A and B are shown apart, each in its own frame.
Chain A
């Protein structure tokens, strides 16, 4: 139960932050290396967003599949659920993308991801003078705030944090 991992990408596709709490199937069995795994995740998000915008049944002037989009055009992709996990997305107009994999029964986490961006990413990363936009960052304050926030929202059990710390 709880969160499995989190990716934060910037517009250029660089994964500027990755953290996993619980990932029993190792990366080697999946994508091969962590970098490939992150690239694939980014590509997946990209394709799904484009696909959703194109297949939107309510939109008057939706783009054709394959045409380049402008930011914010078309509907926004939120999450997908499989039989073992749920993958939640959020994309911000400045290009920062958050991907959070949680347990299957998690509710709609759009607000949670938005709050994560507003209160934690902006506070501890953007305002950090050592942060270079476009480069992966390390910040203990950010990690602590992230864990506390997810725990508050009931997405992270105490033993998971201890497992990850080991």
Chain B
């Protein structure tokens, strides 16, 4: 969105620069009618980073706030993803099958990896100087992922793969031997 005006502006400026210094342009008769050089200079100043987002900068919006908003949006958007996966896990059923086990283990693995890599995921919202605070959205993101993890654990327990019952612990119990030996005559 920001690319199109920037491109046109550059081309426009380039042609101006090509003929000499910027001052030359001011005095030039070639200036179009109604051309206001001060506007051009402000625009140039604003576009100091060369990104060309002159139009946005002109609107009175704080860029950091925008980034933060984007981060929040990103964090919230994971609900859809996690919810979708939870629904898929739910649909795969509670029986011990290769498919449901694969689904559940992916359901466990994905949120964990997402939480571990959340720093990287929010890097892009921090801006060049890292001025934008992403802790809030990141926490939300982790919370949503944790809920996904929770659902996967619940699913695992439903399948019966969590050792939460006595029967999961008795296989190691040794069969005792009899101390006395009795025999029929």
Are A and B associated in one complex? no
A-side residues, CB < 8 A to B, are none
B-side residues, CB < 8 A to A, are none
